[in-house]
Amino acid sequence: MVKTGAIYRSLVLSVSIASQSAGVNTHVLSRTVIAVKNAVMRLVGLLAVVMLVFESALLFTGVVFRYFLHKPIIWSDELAQSVFIWLCMFGAALALDRHEHMRLTAVVTRFSKRAQHWFETLGLLIILLFAAYLIGPGFHHAGGQMVVTSPALNIPDGYRAMAIPVGMCLFAFIAVSHLLTHSRWQDILSAAAVIAVVGYALWFFADFLYDIGNLNLIVFFVLVLGACVMSGVPIAFCFGIATLAYIVNIAEVPPSIVVTRIDEGASHLVLLAVPLFVVLGVLLQISGMARKLIDFMSSVLGHIRGGLNYVLLGAMFLVSGISGSKVADMAAVAPALFPEMKRKGADENDLAALLSATGAMTETIPPSLVLITIGAVCGVSISALFIGGLVPALVCTLAIALVCYLKSRKAAQDTRERARAAEIGRTFLWALPVLVLPIIIRVCVVEGVATATEVASIGIVYVIIYAVIMQLAIGGLEKSRIYPMLVEATSLSGAILLIIGVATAMAWALTQSGFSTTLVDFMTHIPGGVFGFMTVSIVLFVILGSVLEGIPAIVLFGPLIFPAARAMHIHEVHYAIVIILAMGIGLFAPPLGVGFYSASAISKVNPDKVIPKMWLYLAVLLITTFVIAFVPWFSIGFL
């Protein structure tokens, strides 16, 4: 131990002396690294924006040719999916360089500034380790996909899959550049030593961890994952390094499986709705439509204390389920409404908490991909699920509205006098185009004009036409904001999509461990009859929702658990609605819920400040879920 400490101190001293003697050379190196990194990221940003614009145009063109010209473009989805994974990785790289990946910093900020810099260095080294470990498997995966050709375009799939190793190279490059320009050598060496010790301990005790069975999940997905989260490491890379550590030491499968799972999770075409809805929100701000909507809602509800919170609730209810993704639902609403709501005096952290709460409860509103998936894999009538999901969503909305009312009574938010009828009428006419937009989106999906993925492109074209007309009529369009906001949209989208992709890899690891089978066996033998089964189901799916996306969890656990529910004579529609609500709570429950960090990212706030404001909303939603669980009429009363 003494020798090790002496060696370490000698190494640190040598590096320090070398750094001091280098002097100007070190400064020149830092400037060179920064210049190269900035040039690379400008190119990445430009490519990402071009891809985003291209995706929007491609999907809208596909809608026009298929629905209006009756000449579908059979290769459009293939091309869109190929470009999408590149957009995802480039956006995630932009987010990493811009420090826009979501992370939990509540613990780290309690330390000194020097300790915070050390934790930042630790995080960069973990990112570097994760990315560097997957570069080789990523290129191997892409090479293997070269023999697979797309049906319509007849292009090797390896060109699409190549996005992941290229993204990993970008992550590693950004991490190294930040380490060289912002971290002290002493911090780099000490943080690397900590990582090496933990890695060696996991390797040394691998046989013991393997022998204790699923208890080893506590080590990897509670201790390692929790330590990374508390250290302020970006959430996506926390998920990734914990999964990679489990697979390397326990799972006896090649690391390339992480690459394939990330590829699968981040390549799901329906997730393309996320960046498109982010762009839609950007355009709503730039065009002024969001401001006109808020002015109208404010004229109607502005004299009511906390009235703008009800506007957010109503907006989420209108657009929920359209894209099949809670993240896309939030991305469609928050960027459009939040700037004006903040200007009206609303607290941004409470708005993020309210956005999370609404996201947690709106997945039962049709059309929803989770409802469709659970109907398909569990043999439940999808039309019955569509009917059964409306009343529970309304009950949850009323419960959250009650919380908003009670909080508004104590809030110091400014109010104003009731608007005159003339003002309401004037603001209504100005807001009519944006009020029509949710109706257009929903009708296009329900009537089959566009898929859940394509519908955002219709909204984008609609807003662009509106903006052009307004520019010709009255001017005022801030064209200089368009490109920077598109770059910001790609960065935000990449950060969210990387979390989803890596969470898919973690979900696979949990499934392959046999944890799901053990859990289901436990549930079928719990005491308490229906009451006990429903209680455990709610708790279980809250936990699952915190680590899994809704669709993977349903696909994995639905076919196993639903037979047990039917054996206990629980109505399948009722049970489906309850577990969807429970998963929603888990998905938006800090500190692990992916949806919570997505909502914070979309809201552009620090998640640490949102957490204290989340608990009341989550508690009310949990109580409401139990009420719905033990009063089946809410789910099946109109069947």
Render pLDDT for 49-59 as a digit per residue (tens, 0 to 9).
999 999 989 98
Contacts of residue 624, Cβ cutoff 8 Å, sequence gap at least 6: 361, 395, 396, 399, 581
Mean pLDDT of the 561-582 span: 87
Quick check: is 506 in a domain?
Answer: no
Distances (CA, A) of 254 to 45, 195, 218, 355, 609: 33, 21, 22, 39, 39
The pLDDT score that the predictor gives to residue 626 is 94
Cα(115)–Cα(120) distance, integer angstroms: 9
Of 436, 462, 481, the residue at which a domain comes to its end is 481
**Confidence class for position 415, pLDDT limits 50, 70, 90:** low
Q: Do the domain assignments include residue 145?
A: yes
In the chain, helix, strand, coil percent, each to 5?
Answer: 80, 0, 20
What's residue 5's pLDDT? 47
For residue 494, pLDDT over 70 is answered with yes
Would the pLDDT of 323 be above 70? no
Quick check: 7 pLDDT over 50? no
**Average pLDDT value for residue range 117-127:** 95
Query: Is the pLDDT reported for residue 132 higher than 90?
Result: yes
pLDDT for 489: 83
Dihedrals φ, ψ of 149, to 5°?
A: -110, 145
Whether residue 494 contacts residue 88, with contact meaning beta carbons closer than 8 Å, is answered with yes
602 and 455 in one domain?
no
- Say if residue 88 is in the same domain as residue 227: yes
505 pLDDT more than 80: yes
**123: Cβ–Cβ under 8 A, 6 or more apart, which residues?**
103, 231, 232, 233, 234, 237
Residue 368 shares a structural domain with residue 448: yes
- Quote the CA–CA distance of 297 and 416 in Å, as a whole number: 13
Q: Are residues 311 and 351 in the same domain?
A: yes
**Local confidence band at 306 (pLDDT 50, 70, 90 cut-offs):** low
Give the span between the Cα atoms of 233 and 96, in whole angstroms: 11
- What does the pLDDT average to over 163-171? 96
Q: Which of 239, 267, 295 is the last residue of a domain?
A: 267
Look at residues 212, 236, 267 and tell me which one is the last residue of a structural domain. 267
Question: For a pLDDT cut of 90, what percent of the chain falls above it?
Answer: 26
Predicted pLDDT of residue 25: 57
One domain for residues 137 and 159: yes
DSSP output for 468-521:
HHHHHHT----GGGHHHHHHHHHHHHHHHHHHHHHHHHHHHHHHHTTHHHHHHH
Count of structural domains within the chain: 3
Residues of the chain with pLDDT > 70, as a percent, come to: 84
Instruction: Give residue 590's pLDDT.
Output: 81
pLDDT at 326: 67
* pLDDT tier at 170, thresholds 50, 70, 90: very high
Which pLDDT value is given to residue 577? 93
| b/e sequence 202-212, b meaning 16+ C-beta within 10 Å | beeeeeebeee
The CA distance from 22 to 321, in Å, is 59
3-state secondary structure of 598: helix
- Closest listed residue to residue 260, CA positions, set 142, 87, 88, 90: 142
| Domain housing 253 | 33-267
pLDDT for 340: 64
Task: Give the model confidence (pLDDT) of 517-547 as tens digits.
Answer: 776 777 777 787 788 889 988 988 888 777 6
Segment 125-135 shows an average pLDDT of 95
SS3 label, residue 395: helix
Beta carbons of 284 and 434 less than 8 angstroms apart: yes
CB 181, CB 30: distance < 8 Å: yes
Tell me, yes or no, whether 627 and 598 share the same domain.
Answer: yes
3-state secondary structure 336-383: HHHHHHHHCCCCHHHHHHHHHHHHHHCCCCCCCHHHHHHHHHHCCCHH
Q: What distance in Å separates the CA atoms of residue 239 and residue 225, rounded to the nearest whole number?
A: 7
Q: Residue 7: helix, strand or coil by DSSP?
A: helix
What's the whole-number mean pLDDT along residues 241-265? 88
Token digits of residue 290: 């969001």
Mean pLDDT over 14-32 rounds to 56
Given pLDDT bands bounded at 50, 70 and 90, which one contains residue 178? Answer: very high
Check whether 382 has a pLDDT greater than 50.
Answer: yes
CA-based nearest residue to 238, from 256, 255, 220: 220
Residue 202 is predicted with a pLDDT of: 93
Q: Is 51 part of any domain? A: yes
Average pLDDT on 418-429 reads: 81
Over range 159-175, report the average pLDDT: 95
pLDDT in tens, 206-231: 999 988 888 888 899 889 988 998 89
Would you state the pLDDT for residue 547? 64
CA distances from 436 to 78, 319, 431, 463 (A): 31, 12, 9, 11
pLDDT of residue 15: 43
Lowest-pLDDT range, 232-236, 515-519, 618-622?
A: 515-519
The answer to the question of residue 46 being in a domain is: yes
The answer, yes or no, to whether residue 12 has pLDDT greater than 50, is no
| Report for 264-273, 360-369, 454-463, 587-596: range of highest mean pLDDT | 454-463
548 in a domain, yes or no?
yes
| Residue 99 zone, left/alpha/beta (φ > 0; ψ -120 to 50; rest) | left
Q: Is the pLDDT of residue 586 over 80?
A: yes
Q: Is the dihedral of CA 95, 97, 98, 100 positive or negative?
A: positive
Q: What is the mean pLDDT of the chain?
A: 81
Q: Are residues 189 and 294 in the same domain?
A: no
Q: How many of the other CB atoms lie within 10 Å of CB of 47?
A: 14
Question: Phi-psi bin for 169: left (phi > 0), alpha (psi -120 to 50), beta?
Answer: alpha
Residues near 36 by beta carbon (within 8 Å), at least 6 away in sequence: 177
- How far is residue 242's CA from residue 65's CA, in Å, rounded to a whole number? 45
pLDDT at 550 over 70: no
Q: Residue 578: pLDDT above 70? A: yes
**Is residue 112 domain-shared with residue 206, that is, in the same domain?**
yes
Does a structural domain hold residue 493?
Answer: no
Question: What stretch of H or E contains 145?
Answer: helix 113-145
pLDDT at site 121: 95
Q: What is the pLDDT of residue 22?
A: 45
What is the C-alpha to C-alpha distance for residues 128 and 123, in angstroms, rounded to an integer? 9
Task: Clarify whether residues 254 and 307 are in a common domain.
Answer: no
Q: Is the dihedral of CA 356, 358, 360, 362 positive or negative?
A: negative
Q: Is residue 127 a part of any domain in this protein?
A: yes
- Mean pLDDT across 84-109: 88
Among the listed ranges 37-51, 116-130, 538-552, which one has the minimum average pLDDT value?
Answer: 538-552
Residues 363 and 465 in one domain: yes
Looking at the domain assignment, is residue 248 inside a domain? yes
Clarify whether residues 356 and 405 are in a common domain: yes
The reply to whether 59 and 151 lie within a common domain is yes
